[in-house]
Copies of this chain bind each other. A is one copy, B any other.
Amino acid sequence: MEIFGAIEAGGTKFVCAVAGEGGGSLRTATIPTGDPDTTFAQVARFFAEAGDIGELAAIGVASFGPVGVDPHKSDYGRILATPKPHWEGTDMIARVKAFADVPVGIDTDVNAAALAEVAAGDGAVRQLAYVTVGTGIGVGLVSDGQPVHGIGHPEAGHILVRRHLAHDGFAGLCPFHGDCLEGLAAGPAVAAAWGLSPSHIPEEHPFWTVEADYLAQLCMTLFLSFAPERIVLGGGVMKQQRLIPLIRSRTVELLGGYLRALDSEEAMAQRIVAPACKEPSGLEGAYLLARQAAARR
Protein backbone atom coordinates (compact mmCIF):
# COMPACT_ATOMS: atom_id res chain seq x y z
CA MET A 1 0.00 0.00 0.00
CA GLU A 2 1.17 3.50 -0.86
CA ILE A 3 1.04 6.04 1.97
CA PHE A 4 1.49 9.82 2.19
CA GLY A 5 3.24 11.61 5.04
CA ALA A 6 2.25 14.88 6.67
CA ILE A 7 4.29 17.06 9.01
CA GLU A 8 2.65 20.05 10.65
CA ALA A 9 5.75 21.81 11.94
CA GLY A 10 4.77 24.27 14.64
CA GLY A 11 6.69 26.38 17.11
CA THR A 12 5.62 24.30 20.10
CA LYS A 13 4.95 20.90 18.52
CA PHE A 14 5.43 18.87 15.36
CA VAL A 15 2.48 16.68 14.37
CA CYS A 16 3.47 13.79 12.09
CA ALA A 17 0.97 11.54 10.39
CA VAL A 18 0.49 9.10 7.52
CA ALA A 19 -2.57 8.37 5.40
CA GLY A 20 -3.46 6.04 2.54
CA GLU A 21 -4.79 7.04 -0.87
CA GLY A 22 -8.24 7.79 0.53
CA GLY A 23 -7.00 10.25 3.16
CA GLY A 24 -7.64 10.13 6.91
CA SER A 25 -4.68 9.67 9.23
CA LEU A 26 -3.83 6.03 9.99
CA ARG A 27 -1.23 6.92 12.60
CA THR A 28 -0.27 10.22 14.27
CA ALA A 29 2.47 11.37 16.62
CA THR A 30 2.94 14.64 18.44
CA ILE A 31 6.55 15.68 19.06
CA PRO A 32 7.45 18.68 21.22
CA THR A 33 9.53 21.17 19.22
CA GLY A 34 13.12 21.12 20.50
CA ASP A 35 16.19 22.03 18.49
CA PRO A 36 16.23 20.82 14.86
CA ASP A 37 18.47 17.75 15.46
CA THR A 38 16.43 16.41 18.37
CA THR A 39 13.10 17.16 16.72
CA PHE A 40 13.92 15.62 13.35
CA ALA A 41 15.45 12.52 14.99
CA GLN A 42 11.99 11.82 16.43
CA VAL A 43 10.27 12.70 13.15
CA ALA A 44 12.56 10.25 11.32
CA ARG A 45 11.77 7.52 13.84
CA PHE A 46 8.01 8.02 13.34
CA PHE A 47 8.26 7.66 9.56
CA ALA A 48 10.64 4.69 9.82
CA GLU A 49 8.14 2.89 12.04
CA ALA A 50 5.29 3.84 9.70
CA GLY A 51 7.01 1.63 7.10
CA ASP A 52 4.95 -1.25 8.51
CA ILE A 53 1.77 0.43 7.18
CA GLY A 54 2.94 0.95 3.62
CA GLU A 55 5.46 2.48 1.30
CA LEU A 56 5.88 6.23 1.63
CA ALA A 57 5.16 8.05 -1.67
CA ALA A 58 5.83 11.63 -0.56
CA ILE A 59 5.87 13.95 2.47
CA GLY A 60 4.24 17.36 2.83
CA VAL A 61 5.49 19.91 5.34
CA ALA A 62 3.15 22.63 6.65
CA SER A 63 5.72 24.77 8.41
CA PHE A 64 5.82 27.64 10.84
CA GLY A 65 7.23 30.74 9.17
CA PRO A 66 8.88 32.67 7.87
CA VAL A 67 10.02 29.97 5.46
CA GLY A 68 11.30 30.09 1.88
CA VAL A 69 8.44 29.01 -0.40
CA ASP A 70 9.82 29.90 -3.84
CA PRO A 71 11.39 26.83 -5.51
CA HIS A 72 13.46 29.17 -7.71
CA LYS A 73 15.25 30.79 -4.75
CA SER A 74 18.21 29.49 -2.78
CA ASP A 75 16.31 29.79 0.51
CA TYR A 76 13.57 27.37 -0.65
CA GLY A 77 12.52 25.17 2.23
CA ARG A 78 14.62 27.05 4.77
CA ILE A 79 13.39 28.73 7.95
CA LEU A 80 14.15 32.45 7.56
CA ALA A 81 14.75 35.18 10.18
CA THR A 82 13.04 33.97 13.35
CA PRO A 83 13.39 34.77 17.04
CA LYS A 84 13.00 31.00 17.67
CA PRO A 85 16.41 29.74 18.91
CA HIS A 86 18.32 27.22 16.70
CA TRP A 87 15.83 27.21 13.79
CA GLU A 88 16.95 30.11 11.58
CA GLY A 89 18.48 28.71 8.39
CA THR A 90 17.22 25.16 9.00
CA ASP A 91 16.63 23.44 5.66
CA MET A 92 13.35 21.65 6.27
CA ILE A 93 13.39 19.83 2.93
CA ALA A 94 16.94 18.52 3.40
CA ARG A 95 16.05 17.42 6.94
CA VAL A 96 13.18 15.34 5.55
CA LYS A 97 15.16 14.00 2.58
CA ALA A 98 17.86 12.87 5.04
CA PHE A 99 15.54 10.14 6.33
CA ALA A 100 13.16 9.60 3.39
CA ASP A 101 14.16 9.61 -0.25
CA VAL A 102 10.76 10.80 -1.48
CA PRO A 103 9.38 14.00 -3.06
CA VAL A 104 8.78 16.71 -0.44
CA GLY A 105 6.29 19.60 -0.69
CA ILE A 106 6.41 22.60 1.63
CA ASP A 107 4.41 25.73 2.38
CA THR A 108 3.48 27.72 5.46
CA ASP A 109 1.17 26.03 7.94
CA VAL A 110 -1.51 28.64 7.21
CA ASN A 111 -1.21 28.47 3.40
CA ALA A 112 -1.45 24.68 3.70
CA ALA A 113 -4.50 25.05 5.94
CA ALA A 114 -6.06 27.44 3.40
CA LEU A 115 -5.49 24.87 0.63
CA ALA A 116 -7.12 22.18 2.75
CA GLU A 117 -10.13 24.40 3.46
CA VAL A 118 -10.52 25.10 -0.27
CA ALA A 119 -10.40 21.34 -0.90
CA ALA A 120 -13.00 20.78 1.85
CA GLY A 121 -15.28 23.24 0.03
CA ASP A 122 -15.54 20.87 -2.96
CA GLY A 123 -14.95 23.56 -5.55
CA ALA A 124 -17.45 26.05 -4.10
CA VAL A 125 -14.64 28.44 -3.11
CA ARG A 126 -11.39 29.29 -4.92
CA GLN A 127 -10.47 32.49 -3.02
CA LEU A 128 -9.97 31.90 0.69
CA ALA A 129 -8.15 33.20 3.74
CA TYR A 130 -7.23 30.92 6.66
CA VAL A 131 -6.54 32.69 9.96
CA THR A 132 -5.07 31.03 13.02
CA VAL A 133 -5.29 32.78 16.36
CA GLY A 134 -3.14 31.05 18.95
CA THR A 135 0.37 31.64 20.26
CA GLY A 136 0.66 33.98 17.27
CA ILE A 137 -1.69 35.13 14.54
CA GLY A 138 -1.08 33.77 11.05
CA VAL A 139 -2.92 34.19 7.77
CA GLY A 140 -2.70 31.96 4.70
CA LEU A 141 -4.24 32.90 1.36
CA VAL A 142 -5.37 30.90 -1.64
CA SER A 143 -6.10 32.83 -4.84
CA ASP A 144 -7.86 31.07 -7.72
CA GLY A 145 -7.06 27.76 -6.06
CA GLN A 146 -3.31 28.39 -5.58
CA PRO A 147 -1.44 29.40 -2.40
CA VAL A 148 -0.30 33.04 -2.47
CA HIS A 149 3.46 33.62 -2.64
CA GLY A 150 5.32 36.76 -3.60
CA ILE A 151 8.06 38.51 -1.71
CA GLY A 152 7.82 35.73 0.83
CA HIS A 153 4.37 34.65 1.95
CA PRO A 154 1.43 36.35 3.70
CA GLU A 155 2.16 37.56 7.25
CA ALA A 156 -1.06 39.45 7.93
CA GLY A 157 -1.01 38.68 11.65
CA HIS A 158 1.18 41.76 12.01
CA ILE A 159 -1.12 44.37 10.43
CA LEU A 160 -1.84 47.51 12.43
CA VAL A 161 -5.27 47.75 14.01
CA ARG A 162 -7.01 50.56 15.84
CA ARG A 163 -6.70 50.20 19.57
CA HIS A 164 -9.93 49.40 21.41
CA LEU A 165 -10.72 51.97 24.11
CA ALA A 166 -11.24 49.27 26.76
CA HIS A 167 -7.67 48.10 26.07
CA ASP A 168 -6.05 51.48 26.35
CA GLY A 169 -3.27 50.90 28.85
CA PHE A 170 -1.88 47.74 27.21
CA ALA A 171 1.30 48.22 25.16
CA GLY A 172 1.11 44.95 23.18
CA LEU A 173 3.59 42.09 23.05
CA CYS A 174 4.99 42.02 19.51
CA PRO A 175 8.80 42.36 19.63
CA PHE A 176 8.71 44.09 16.21
CA HIS A 177 5.61 46.30 16.39
CA GLY A 178 4.36 46.33 19.97
CA ASP A 179 0.66 46.74 19.39
CA CYS A 180 0.11 45.20 15.95
CA LEU A 181 -2.75 42.68 15.68
CA GLU A 182 -0.63 39.77 16.98
CA GLY A 183 0.78 41.97 19.74
CA LEU A 184 -2.74 42.77 20.96
CA ALA A 185 -4.88 39.73 20.18
CA ALA A 186 -2.81 36.51 20.16
CA GLY A 187 -3.08 34.15 23.13
CA PRO A 188 -0.08 35.49 25.11
CA ALA A 189 -1.33 39.08 24.65
CA VAL A 190 -4.74 38.11 25.96
CA ALA A 191 -3.12 36.50 29.01
CA ALA A 192 -0.87 39.53 29.58
CA ALA A 193 -3.60 42.13 29.17
CA TRP A 194 -6.32 40.48 31.23
CA GLY A 195 -4.39 38.05 33.42
CA LEU A 196 -6.59 35.21 32.16
CA SER A 197 -6.46 32.59 29.43
CA PRO A 198 -9.26 32.80 26.83
CA SER A 199 -10.73 29.54 28.11
CA HIS A 200 -11.22 31.02 31.59
CA ILE A 201 -12.70 34.44 30.86
CA PRO A 202 -16.25 35.08 32.11
CA GLU A 203 -18.98 36.00 29.62
CA GLU A 204 -19.44 39.59 30.76
CA HIS A 205 -15.71 40.40 30.57
CA PRO A 206 -14.66 43.19 28.15
CA PHE A 207 -12.21 40.72 26.54
CA TRP A 208 -14.89 39.37 24.20
CA THR A 209 -15.75 42.73 22.67
CA VAL A 210 -12.12 43.81 22.43
CA GLU A 211 -10.92 40.54 20.85
CA ALA A 212 -13.85 40.43 18.41
CA ASP A 213 -13.13 44.04 17.41
CA TYR A 214 -9.47 43.30 16.60
CA LEU A 215 -10.27 40.14 14.65
CA ALA A 216 -13.11 41.93 12.83
CA GLN A 217 -10.60 44.59 11.77
CA LEU A 218 -8.50 41.77 10.29
CA CYS A 219 -11.54 40.32 8.51
CA MET A 220 -12.47 43.78 7.15
CA THR A 221 -8.93 44.30 5.85
CA LEU A 222 -8.89 40.84 4.26
CA PHE A 223 -12.28 41.27 2.57
CA LEU A 224 -11.31 44.72 1.25
CA SER A 225 -7.80 43.91 0.14
CA PHE A 226 -8.07 40.34 -1.10
CA ALA A 227 -11.82 39.72 -1.69
CA PRO A 228 -11.87 36.20 -0.21
CA GLU A 229 -15.11 34.27 -0.66
CA ARG A 230 -14.51 32.71 2.73
CA ILE A 231 -12.44 33.52 5.82
CA VAL A 232 -11.80 30.47 8.03
CA LEU A 233 -10.91 31.19 11.65
CA GLY A 234 -8.93 28.50 13.47
CA GLY A 235 -6.33 28.13 16.22
CA GLY A 236 -6.43 27.83 19.99
CA VAL A 237 -8.09 31.15 20.82
CA MET A 238 -10.86 30.43 18.28
CA LYS A 239 -11.85 27.31 20.24
CA GLN A 240 -13.95 29.83 22.21
CA GLN A 241 -17.03 29.44 20.05
CA ARG A 242 -18.61 32.65 21.33
CA LEU A 243 -16.09 34.64 19.31
CA ILE A 244 -17.20 33.86 15.76
CA PRO A 245 -20.69 35.43 15.98
CA LEU A 246 -19.21 38.50 17.71
CA ILE A 247 -16.57 38.83 14.97
CA ARG A 248 -19.17 38.48 12.20
CA SER A 249 -21.40 41.13 13.65
CA ARG A 250 -18.55 43.57 14.28
CA THR A 251 -17.22 43.04 10.73
CA VAL A 252 -20.65 43.93 9.31
CA GLU A 253 -20.62 47.10 11.45
CA LEU A 254 -17.10 48.09 10.40
CA LEU A 255 -17.78 47.57 6.67
CA GLY A 256 -20.73 49.95 7.02
CA GLY A 257 -22.64 48.51 4.04
CA TYR A 258 -19.79 49.23 1.63
CA LEU A 259 -19.61 45.68 0.28
CA ARG A 260 -23.22 44.88 -0.66
CA ALA A 261 -22.54 41.12 -0.60
CA LEU A 262 -21.46 41.36 3.06
CA ASP A 263 -24.00 43.72 4.55
CA SER A 264 -25.88 41.43 6.94
CA GLU A 265 -25.07 38.92 9.65
CA GLU A 266 -26.83 36.23 7.58
CA ALA A 267 -24.53 36.92 4.63
CA MET A 268 -21.51 37.05 6.90
CA ALA A 269 -22.41 33.68 8.44
CA GLN A 270 -21.57 32.13 5.03
CA ARG A 271 -18.29 34.04 4.81
CA ILE A 272 -16.62 33.96 8.24
CA VAL A 273 -16.61 30.35 9.37
CA ALA A 274 -14.93 27.74 11.57
CA PRO A 275 -12.69 25.14 9.86
CA ALA A 276 -14.52 22.54 7.77
CA CYS A 277 -11.68 19.98 7.64
CA LYS A 278 -12.17 16.80 9.63
CA GLU A 279 -8.56 16.72 10.83
CA PRO A 280 -6.61 19.91 11.73
CA SER A 281 -6.54 22.03 8.53
CA GLY A 282 -2.75 22.40 8.58
CA LEU A 283 -2.27 18.62 8.73
CA GLU A 284 -4.75 18.04 5.90
CA GLY A 285 -2.91 20.74 3.97
CA ALA A 286 0.37 18.88 4.52
CA TYR A 287 -1.18 15.78 2.89
CA LEU A 288 -2.21 17.95 -0.09
CA LEU A 289 1.36 19.25 -0.38
CA ALA A 290 2.60 15.64 -0.29
CA ARG A 291 0.18 14.59 -3.05
CA GLN A 292 1.18 17.58 -5.19
CA ALA A 293 4.85 16.73 -4.71
CA ALA A 294 4.19 13.10 -5.68
CA ALA A 295 2.31 14.22 -8.81
CA ARG A 296 5.24 16.44 -9.85
CA ARG A 297 7.72 13.58 -9.55
Contact = CB atoms under 8 A, between A and B. Distances in A.
Contacts of A23: none
A229 interface: yes
Contacts of A149: 127, 144, 227
Interface residues of A, number: 48
A165 interface: no
A215 to B, nearest CB: 13
Contacts of A228: 150-151
A154 interface: yes
A98 interface: no
Nearest to A152: B227
Contacts of A223: 151
Interface string A175-194: 01100000000000000000
Most buried by B among A146, A155, A225: A225
A224 B176 CA distance: 13
Given A143-B148, A148-B143, A151-B127, A156 B225 contact: yes
